[in-house]
Structure 1
Amino acid sequence: MDFTKEQLDYIDAPLDRHVYLKACPGSGKTEVVAAMVSKSVRQWSRFPSGIAVLTFSNSATDELRGRVRKHLKEPIGFPHYISTFDGFVLTRLVANIASELTGYKGKEGDFRIRIVEKTANIYRTHNSICDRKISACRYNFDLERARFIFSTGERGLDNQLNSTVFDKNIHDDLVATKRNLWQAGLATHGDIDMLALMAFKEPKLAVHFSRIARRFPVVIVDECQDLSLEQLRIVEKLSEFGVRFHFVGDLNQSIYGFRKSNPENVSKLMAKLEFESYELSTNWRSGQAIVDLCSNILGTGQVMSNQNIASVMPMILEYERCPSELLPTIRNFTQAYTNVVVVARGYTTLNRLRNGESVEGVELLAVACIGAGSGSVKDIKENLRVFAKWLAERLHLQVTKVGPHCPIAMESKLAWRKFIHESLKFMVANGAGNPDQTWSMWVRTAKLALRQLPDQVFVPAEIRKYLEALRHLNLVARKGQGAKLVSARLMRQKVHGDQADAMRYETIHGVKGETHDVTVVVSSLQPGSHLSHWQDWLRDPESEAARFAYVASSRPRHILIWAVKKLKPAERPVLAKLGFKLP
């Protein structure tokens, strides 16, 4: 790859200073970071110290590790390190001092903290709070708001809890309950950040953090706009021990407000630590019309595009009642392209698009079984995840963060994955993978198979008692669906005749960092609190809602489509001015 001057400037950026690389969508950021890391590794002379490169997802970590390997012609190895930010904080900052921080006495000499899902309903408060005893996994202390924030899974209860001012007795109960969780060797990911910040306050642990700073004097954080305030505090504390940071990203792509990321906080820290700025200002991914529209969404200055890609004006498609009405039109229009992705703010809109209405309950179980029965290797991971989620929720299992949905009772995550895999094979072998039957027949078949599951030899001893509830399981088809074929509802692979559906369906968060041939961004039926309607996206160019639209609309190389509910006359000029071709 031939690098531009902007890209080469960053590849040669100093490692002894804080640096910010501002990278617009399609700028080649990941390749440039990989080249910079590879160059630095080759020239590194500070063994056994090394460079840490941190991302915010396992997939991003794998992608960056693969790019670096391509440049180095071998895997990156000791003393260097590529991981997620969460993984770095847990394994490098907290793991070795966890027992000192939490009072956890360990288990058979193992003092590691186990990460549990925030949905786990364990270690509940002594007092009832808003008429509920709250699990320690379902709240965290928020530095920005200086109070506990609750996430119970019940919106009404969360609103009530998060708007209540608690007295000292309740506050102390929340603190004690959280400490009880930690003393048992358990924590959520949010807890790990707080444990790290607690450790920084302990003078006796300064030696520990000095050792970390010597081990990793340079830390590169990709997608820095996703840093929460707690994580930014960790960065600031490590910088006091001499660690130098490279932040890489685009503050305009900050879309993880639910994880407490805020681009203003990132900007403030960079100003405080006097980061030196570099920029990648050319979008090599998209045609100019798409790039211009993205700039208009945020009200930023013009960005140059790839002049080798034809500039095709983005377009609007309108639906009357449901986005699924547009599927034939979209398929017909995009049939010349192989990478067509339909994007929406949330799964509810996506499910309505694929099926005309939401897929839930027993249908999720059917999706997993029928998907496994299709023999598609590509979809097996998703089928395993869906089945594990359905089973854990049906049996009310308390689960860890990994697994997927692995019960706390299971020591081995691998054993859990094998069990889920064998269980799906068993379901398919007993007829639950066959979509060519009515829903009444299918639920009867699935019910009989699930009732036999506790007797199978592949069931791990740790969870056998929990599976006993399956012996009396009852499944019923959705009202009005009993006589209809399962395939008519779920097998979207057969969309018309024998033609396979080449389109992929993802959330906006799911496509961040991707490149498509065609991106179809679907607006919900009406504006609201979910920020899934086009009016929400355009109301304030500095809002997270605007950044949702910016991220989604900057994915395609060739064609951008917004699918919106039938426009009123007064709404049409708004979208035309933005840069859309209207029907």
Structure 2
Amino acid sequence: MTQASAEQLQIIGAPLTPMSVIACAGSGKTFTAVRRLAEIRRQLGNHRGRAALLSFSNVAVDTFRQEYQMLVQNASVGSGPSRVEIDTLDGFITANVLRPHAYRTMGARQAAFLVTGGESFLNGFKFNTDTYPREITKMQAGIDDGQFFFHYADNDNTRTLNTAYASGIINRLGQIGAYTHNLGRYWCHRTLAAQPAILRALARRYPHILIDEAQDIGTVHQAIIEQLVGAGCQVSLIGDPNQGIYEFAGANGSFLTRYGQRAGVSNLGLTRNYRSVPAIVDLANRLSIRADTADRCAPRTTHGAFFVSYRNADRENLITSFQAAVAAAELDPGRSAVLCRGRDMADRLAGNEGAPGQGTVKGLAQAAILRDRNKDYLGAFKLVTACILSLLADPPQGLVARLVQPARYPDDRPLRRLIWAFTRNADSGLPDSALTADTQWHPLLLERIRALLTTVERDHELAGVGNLGQKLARRGLPSAPLVTAADLTANDEPPRIRVDTVHQAKGESLDAVLYLANKEHAAALLAGVNTEVGRIGYVAVTRARNLLWLGVPANALEELRPTLLARGFQEAGVGAQGR
């Protein structure tokens, strides 16, 4: 997209007032938001305040930063382009509230630091449940009627914790300066409430904030935004309520919908879909009761929305058939995906079974599998980092989080490079997963970990634990490779199409999508966007540019077929050559 539409121009050039922008899927939100950010900064003129564009994922933030940089290079964006910040909402509150100021409210003697779950001292902060103690990183915070409550997910169910009990654990953790991703929002709200001068200064520094993917705003984020609005900050939201799929955090899109009804907030929209072919846009309209228009014309190759039945025993054959259909439609399998509702099913279909071994060895084995079979070097690095730091006698608090966030913690890059090299190099670092696990892989692992810890102690003054042999015992490792030769040679074949969850694919634009649903998921999709499961289905549908397949269980097909046809699906193999 190079030219703004009339709808986009209305948003980009609007006066400096709060806005609520309801945008359909594929409507060019990135294009619009970045240019709106530049226009806000231009209209601010010599005002020393900063304009901020915030979102919810590092991928989105990287895209925004690249787009803004190109805009700066290719066109004049007005005065003060440097007084612009692009970050995640959590990154914003970390930099401006948690790291410099939260320790006072937490009762800590040092700056607050993030913990991710790989720190050994967190064993003393597990919380009890009806079944077994859970990691503190699994505790969620929410706000209802102005009061905090705490809960955790138990499969698809949400379990509420006793507030006094949960608060006691959180406060104990806070007194050493530690917070988890979710509890950071809790401490941000408490800090801004307890230190109003910080809130006033923050509103002066950021007089205008634009929040993308605003349907993902949960109850605690919402409360923080209300604090900023109350202090005089003008907040604009852009998003699609029909893609609110984080209901466990209260992020169901309702805040975005209601925000546009406030006095003084301009209510605008983006209704043109630049991503999908007309058949998929028509389907999305029927599901969401919208009337968005497709910018694209129908291609000559096979395209559109189809349903196909499957039996659980034949899911692999269905994926193979889908991959063949992607190739026949001349689409890119690398930009296509099989999407599932749950992580467990996605892992099974992707072949991501759990690694053998116990404790730290199990984590390192999983890292080797991710690297060698899945080519997931970042995932392997994160696992190796947590495992290596668990083998240090007294690692600095928050070091795991610092090592996996290099942009925010540049001072830790030398240690990060050392662990990256260990992770990537199977010849001198994390051993090759094709080696026999108990007799070849494990002895090499022990030898190389010892060498790595020696280097870490020499160059970074971080001593290792004294009982390394016990920490890295080979219990649970098989007399077989971690990854079979067949799995590794499969990497020489055309890449197998990606299998992932809908949540992980949110925000992406994919050439082709197979949404593998059970009866409940398919029925919820067809019923529309009034439930979270229905919205998850809607997100899966609207990821697809050209081709969408909906996998429906064979035993539910007869019941669902009339509704499938009424919504605009075609049956695969029946009139499937173009539309």
Q: CA deviation at 1:12?
A: 0.7
Residue number in structure 2 paired with 1:319: 310
1:207–1:482 CA distance, 2 compared to 1 (3 A)? closer
Distance in 2 between the 1:114 and 1:361 partners? 32
For residues 181-210 of structure 1, give each alpha carbon's deviation from its aligned partner in whole angstroms, at most 9, with x where no partner exists: 1121111233332223223433xx333322
2:242–2:535 Cα contact (<8 Å) kept: yes
Residue number in structure 1 paired with 2:501: 507
Residue number in structure 1 paired with 2:84: 80
Distance in 1 between the 2:392 and 2:295 partners? 53
Residue number in structure 1 paired with 2:541: 553
Q: CA deviation at 1:500?
A: 1.4
For residues 150-209 of structure 1, give each alpha carbon's deviation from its aligned partner in whole angstroms, at most 9, with x where no partner exists: 43x8659x96xx356x4xxxx54543332221121111233332223223433xx33332
Residue number in structure 1 paired with 2:486: 488
AA paired with 1:257? E
Matched, 1:384 2:384: no
Structure 2's unaligned 5+ residue stretches are 573-579
Distance in 1 between the 2:275 and 2:467 partners? 50
1:455–1:142 CA distance, 2 compared to 1 (3 A)? same
1:411–1:308 CA distance, 2 compared to 1 (3 A)? closer
Matched, 1:115 2:109: no
1:442–1:119 CA distance, 2 compared to 1 (3 A)? closer
56-65 vs 382-391, greater mean Cα deviation: 382-391
Select which of 170, 180, 197 maps to 1:207.
Answer: 197
Distance in 1 between the 2:369 and 2:485 partners? 9
Select which of 322, 340, 354 maps to 2:350.
Answer: 354
1:315–1:581 Cα contact (<8 Å) kept: yes
Select which of 248, 251, 261 maps to 1:261.
Answer: 251
AA paired with 1:214? R
Among all aligned residue pairs of Structure 1 and Structure 2, give the percentage whose two residues are the same amino acid: 20
Q: Helix, strand or coil: the match of 2:559?
A: coil
1:431–1:445 Cα contact (<8 Å) kept: no
Q: CA deviation at 1:114?
A: 0.2
1:403–1:417 Cα contact (<8 Å) kept: no
1:340–1:502 Cα contact (<8 Å) kept: no
1:380–1:191 CA distance, 2 compared to 1 (3 A)? closer
For residues 312-339 of structure 1, give each alpha carbon's deviation from its aligned partner in whole angstroms, at most 9, with x where no partner exists: 3311233322421223312222122222
AA paired with 1:570? E
Q: Helix, strand or coil: the match of 1:535?
A: helix
Distance in 2 between the 1:33 and 1:115 partners? 29
AA paired with 2:216? D
Distance in 1 between the 2:81 and 2:499 partners? 36
Select which of 270, 278, 283 maps to 2:273.
Answer: 283
Residue number in structure 2 paired with 1:571: 560
AA paired with 2:486? A
268-277 vs 222-231, greater mean Cα deviation: 268-277
Q: CA deviation at 1:521?
A: 1.6
AA paired with 1:13? A
1:250–1:330 CA distance, 2 compared to 1 (3 A)? same
464-473 vs 511-520, greater mean Cα deviation: 464-473
Residue number in structure 2 paired with 1:18: 18
Distance in 1 between the 2:447 and 2:547 partners? 50
1:361–1:261 CA distance, 2 compared to 1 (3 A)? farther
Q: Helix, strand or coil: the match of 1:473?
A: coil
Distance in 2 between the 1:180 and 1:446 partners? 41
Matched, 1:236 2:240: no
Residue number in structure 2 paired with 1:9: 10
Q: CA deviation at 1:360?
A: 4.2
Q: CA deviation at 1:51?
A: 0.5
1:141–1:5 CA distance, 2 compared to 1 (3 A)? closer
AA paired with 2:273? N
Residue number in structure 2 paired with 1:458: 455
2:422–2:428 Cα contact (<8 Å) kept: no
392-401 vs 72-81, greater mean Cα deviation: 392-401
Q: CA deviation at 1:28?
A: 1.0
2:338–2:516 Cα contact (<8 Å) kept: yes
Q: CA deviation at 1:280?
A: 0.9
Distance in 1 between the 2:331 and 2:64 partners? 27
1:82–1:466 CA distance, 2 compared to 1 (3 A)? farther
Residue number in structure 2 paired with 1:219: 209
Q: Helix, strand or coil: the match of 1:122?
A: helix
1:522–1:389 CA distance, 2 compared to 1 (3 A)? farther
1:522–1:564 Cα contact (<8 Å) kept: yes
Q: CA deviation at 1:576?
A: 2.0
Distance in 1 between the 2:237 and 2:63 partners? 18
1:359–1:192 CA distance, 2 compared to 1 (3 A)? closer
1:288–1:305 Cα contact (<8 Å) kept: yes
Distance in 2 between the 1:177 and 1:224 partners? 31
1:354–1:139 CA distance, 2 compared to 1 (3 A)? closer
1:124–1:133 Cα contact (<8 Å) kept: no
281-290 vs 362-371, greater mean Cα deviation: 362-371
Q: Helix, strand or coil: the match of 1:501?
A: coil
Residue number in structure 1 paired with 2:337: 341
Q: CA deviation at 1:6?
A: 0.7
Residue number in structure 2 paired with 1:109: none
Residue number in structure 1 paired with 2:575: none
AA paired with 1:579? G
Distance in 1 between the 2:57 and 2:429 partners? 37
1:223–1:248 Cα contact (<8 Å) kept: yes
Q: CA deviation at 1:40?
A: 3.2
AA paired with 1:224? A
1:138–1:477 CA distance, 2 compared to 1 (3 A)? closer
Q: CA deviation at 1:466?
A: 7.3
Q: CA deviation at 1:223?
A: 0.7
1:114–1:185 Cα contact (<8 Å) kept: yes
1:512–1:219 CA distance, 2 compared to 1 (3 A)? same
For residues 442-474 of structure 1, give each alpha carbon's deviation from its aligned partner in whole angstroms, at most 9, with x where no partner exists: 443221122223420334453621771466521
Q: What are the equivalent positions in structure 2 for 1:272-311 lying under 5 Å apart?
A: 272=262, 274-298=264-288, 300-310=289-299
Q: CA deviation at 1:229?
A: 1.3
Q: Helix, strand or coil: the match of 2:515?
A: strand
1:492–1:565 CA distance, 2 compared to 1 (3 A)? farther
Distance in 1 between the 2:366 and 2:166 partners? 39
For residues 365-409 of structure 1, give each alpha carbon's deviation from its aligned partner in whole angstroms, at most 9, with x where no partner exists: 5564366468x9x74323323444677799999976725679xxx
Select which of 92, 104, 108 maps to 1:104.
Answer: 108
1:491–1:347 CA distance, 2 compared to 1 (3 A)? farther
Distance in 1 between the 2:127 and 2:550 partners? 49
1:139–1:327 CA distance, 2 compared to 1 (3 A)? closer
Q: Helix, strand or coil: the match of 1:279?
A: strand
Q: CA deviation at 1:70?
A: 1.0
1:136–1:174 Cα contact (<8 Å) kept: no
Matched, 1:449 2:444: yes
Q: CA deviation at 1:148?
A: 3.6
382-391 vs 535-544, greater mean Cα deviation: 382-391
AA paired with 2:501? T
AA paired with 1:231? H
Q: What are the equivalent positions in structure 2 for 1:362-377 lying under 5 Å apart?
A: 368-369=367-368, 372=371
Residue number in structure 2 paired with 1:542: 530
In the superposition, the TM-score normalised over structure 1's length comes to: 0.81
Size of the alignment, in residue pairs?
Answer: 543
Select which of 95, 99, 106 maps to 1:91.
Answer: 95
Distance in 2 between the 1:224 and 1:93 partners? 21
1:297–1:549 Cα contact (<8 Å) kept: no
Distance in 1 between the 2:467 and 2:249 partners? 34
For residues 118-157 of structure 1, give each alpha carbon's deviation from its aligned partner in whole angstroms, at most 9, with x where no partner exists: 6766385799775977765553542128464243x8659x
2:438–2:477 Cα contact (<8 Å) kept: yes
Q: CA deviation at 1:550?
A: 1.0
2:282–2:568 Cα contact (<8 Å) kept: yes
